A and B are shown apart, each in its own frame.
Chain A
Amino acid sequence: MYQHTLFGAYINAIILLLLQRVLLLVASDVDALCACKILQALFQCDHVQYTLVPVAGWQELETAFLEHKDQFKYFVFINCGANVDLLEILQPEEDTFFFICDSHRPINVVNVYNDTQIKLLVKQDDDLDVPAYDDIFRDEEDEEEDSEDESDGSEPSEKRRRFEEEVIERTMKRRQRREWEARRCSAMVMFDLAWIMSKDLNDMLWWAIVGLTDQWVQDKITQMKYVTDIGILQRHVSRHNHRNEDEENSLSIDCMRIAFEYDLRLALYQHWSLYESLCNTSYTSASLKLWSVQGQKRLQEFLADMGLPLKQVKQKFNSMDVSLKENLREMIEESANKFGMKDLRVQTFSIHFGFKNKFSASDIVYATTSLMENIEKEDSETTNFIKALDSLSRGNLDKLHQGLDLAKKQLRAIQQTVASCICTNLVISQGPFLYCSLMEGTPDVKLFSKPVSLCLLSKYLLKSFVCSTKNKRCKLLPLVMAAPMDVEQGTVIMVGIPPEVESSDKKNFFGRAFEKAAESTNSRTLHNHFEMSIIELKTEDRSKFLDALISLLS
């Protein structure tokens, strides 16, 4: 069932005894990329031959599996494969092994209880409500016994039928109960593995940090979990990076070092100007309501309160006066508190190597995401995946800078779209949820045909909407967002995100809701993405799908 600490032993067994090759199937998100980098480094250390195939959805996963199943016996799935019954879908041979390291929840119970072929890489102390094996799988036998007894007995047939129906209902409910547990980012699981095998390096630690930050940027984990995980990583950071404090034995400036920072929550601010960063970060933009004229005034007041001249703030951050930069963080925090932004600072890490290269973890996350979803060059998805994977290595700084530029464009596009949606009241309440649909001619709409960008846009839109609306009920509703995906084929990509509530546990029920709505209306949908709450559907079926969804959720 759970094979966490034994994964390392398995890998040793693979190399020494079996000399087998392993196939890595990696999903397309930053957490998966980071986990993949760590695993690659571990495999290279131990000379395990592997092949890496990027997969963007279920169809690619199945194709890759079919193509490679004759050559490989060991498959590792990173950030894909946990939420469906893998054995049923892929129909593998008896001697194939699947190792799944997936941060998507819920995990399918069949994957949990399969002892032979499926191994889940999960940390054992995460809170888990796994329904007991007996509860789910014993009911079948019980049901048969009960019905047998009753057929012998002389009870009236109606009563028997009712009883049987009850039993069947109970069994179905129990079978459908899945596991919800706090998401653990795959990169951290991989880093733990490396640590247990004593093969962890500073590089791998940095990738684990980036993976965790990606989950935080995409709002997939709660603040509590983020802070706890940061604490865990901080211990590792001090273990690897303690030599800087000692004056005599300090490392050369070119060596890579990671530092803990209580940094500002402004996106890319060190590679941009402070003004741009304030305008294009969702937190500040939503709190100050920067889509309105009033909001712009408040921004000016905010800057004046801190004593930062506009001219300084609008130029590149690195060229700002040193005297202004010295106490910037504390100054901003103080002023931010006055303007209602209590959480402007966040615990994070940054990396330094050389004199010029200083990046914060969220910078890398934004850069890698925009490289992966780059629409500019019309390369295939796998080419973008490879570019993004390369940009995570320190030797490929040019790709990283390209990613940063693309990220700036993406953030600007998101903010402009959010501003226009709010000003033109495009977000409508449909009853149980809010709905917003992007029209075809909207500028930068092509950028939002990619899932992660669309999710980011939806989250920022929801945050801004919650700050802008006066309707108390609407503030608690989830959001469904639609954007045109492929104009020629007439498809639309639709995303559902949970409501923006302080104490939410970020569980997303839209996956099941979308499935059911699609079934009931016979809409032509494609649930290709690993995240169940993202689907593609034909534009014509959109309205009936939405109606079904409304009736389902009300």
Chain B
Amino acid sequence: MAAERGLELVRELHRAAGGHLPPFRTEEMRQALEEMRALYERNQADVSEAKSGRTDLIFLIRFRHCCLLRNQRCLLAYLYDRLLRIRALRWEYGSVLPNTIQFHMSAEEVEWFNRYKKSLATYMRSVGGEEGLDLTQDIKPPKSLYIEVRCLKDHGEFEIDDGTTILLKKNSQHFLPRWKCEQLIRQGVLEHVLS
């Protein structure tokens, strides 16, 4: 009753460290909301009773009100933290999220993500002249324009935005512009070689 389910949700997010997005707990959410509704209804009933004379119910009403507020706080924290993590995913993975992550998002979160993507894209287009500026590249200042990468597994042919295809065979080394390789480095196909 005292917002235990809400607390469970918050604890789960707290345990999932490092920006990882656990699945959306629809069931627990529904139960917490159910709890809030039950508390609210009982409070409604008790308020009308208290108005008509029974002043000893005021403490109970106050207590239930605090529970309601606590529930609200827990649930809002849960939802907001998830949104922050989803926003960070856009900056880490790019505009297409891997399927595993998309499974963990609720429909509303997906909708929110799409709208965030759109507004980010509009902003990026507006900055930086004609072609726009891709802010998600080079989050840290790069040491060099081109990097040497080594292919860790056979990935086959890889086509980049400007049309060039690269054949990625195991143990071949390539010297490419940084922006072409970053995505593959994150996926673990290429390895940055420091010499």
Would you list which residues of chain A between 347 and 389 have a CB under 8 Å from chain B? 380, 382-383, 385-386
CB distance from A407 to the nearest CB of B (A): 22
| A-side interface size class | 20 to 34
User: Are A382's CB and B175's CB within 8 A?
Assistant: no
A43 within 8 A of partner (CB): yes
**How many angstroms between the C-alpha atoms of A395 and B173 in the bound complex?**
18
CB distance from A71 to the nearest CB of B (A): 6
The residue from B150, B169, B175, B176 contacting A40, defined by CB atoms under 8 A apart:
B175
Identify the closest chain A residue to B168 (Cβ). Answer: A51
Would you list which residues of chain A between 245 and 297 have a CB under 8 Å from chain B? none
B94 within 8 A of partner (CB): no
**How many angstroms between the C-alpha atoms of A193 and B66 in the bound complex?**
80
Contacting residues, chain A, for B176 (C-beta < 8 A): 49
User: Are A395's CB and B194's CB within 8 A?
Assistant: yes
CB distance from A551 to the nearest CB of B (A): 44
CB distance from B157 to the nearest CB of A (A): 9
CB distance from A70 to the nearest CB of B (A): 8
Main secondary structure of the interface of B (DSSP, over half): strand
The residue from A43, A51, A383 contacting B166, defined by CB atoms under 8 A apart:
A51
User: Are B172's CB and A52's CB within 8 A?
Assistant: yes
B2 within 8 A of partner (CB): no
**How many angstroms between the C-alpha atoms of A395 and B194 in the bound complex?**
9
Q: A-facing mask of B153-195, CB < 8 A → 1, else 0?
A: 0000000000011110111111111000000000000000111
Q: B-facing mask of A35-66, CB < 8 A → 1, else 0?
A: 00000100110011111111000000000000
**How many angstroms between the C-alpha atoms of A67 and B165 in the bound complex?**
12
**How many angstroms between the C-alpha atoms of A47 and B147 in the bound complex?**
9
User: Are B166's CB and A48's CB within 8 A?
Assistant: no
User: Are B145's CB and A385's CB within 8 A?
Assistant: no
CB distance from B48 to the nearest CB of A (A): 78
The residue from A21, A50, A380, A395 contacting B195, defined by CB atoms under 8 A apart:
A395
Main secondary structure of the interface of A (DSSP, over half): mixed
Identify the closest chain B residue to A396 (Cβ). Answer: B195
User: Are B164's CB and A21's CB within 8 A?
Assistant: yes
B63 within 8 A of partner (CB): no
| B-side interface size class | 20 to 34
User: Are B173's CB and A44's CB within 8 A?
Assistant: no
Contacting residues, chain A, for B177 (C-beta < 8 A): 49
CB distance from B149 to the nearest CB of A (A): 10
Identify the closest chain B residue to A51 (Cβ). Answer: B174
User: Are A386's CB and B167's CB within 8 A?
Assistant: no
Residues of A within 8 A of B (CB): 21, 40, 43-44, 47-54, 67-68, 70-71, 380, 382-383, 385-386, 390, 393, 395
Q: Which 6 A-B pairs have the closest CB atoms?
A: A382-B171, A52-B173, A393-B195, A51-B174, A50-B175, A53-B172
A sample of 16 more A-B contacts (CB under 8 A), given A49-B176, A50-B175, is A40-B175, A44-B146, A44-B175, A49-B177, A52-B172, A53-B169, A53-B172, A54-B172, A71-B164, A71-B167, A380-B170, A385-B171, A386-B150, A386-B171, A390-B193, A393-B195
- What are 30 A-to-B residue pairs whose CB atoms are below 8 Å? A21-B164, A43-B175, A44-B146, A44-B148, A44-B175, A47-B145, A47-B146, A48-B175, A49-B175, A49-B177, A50-B174, A50-B175, A51-B172, A51-B174, A51-B175, A52-B173, A52-B174, A53-B169, A53-B172, A67-B167, A67-B169, A68-B167, A71-B164, A71-B165, A71-B166, A71-B167, A380-B171, A383-B171, A386-B171, A393-B195
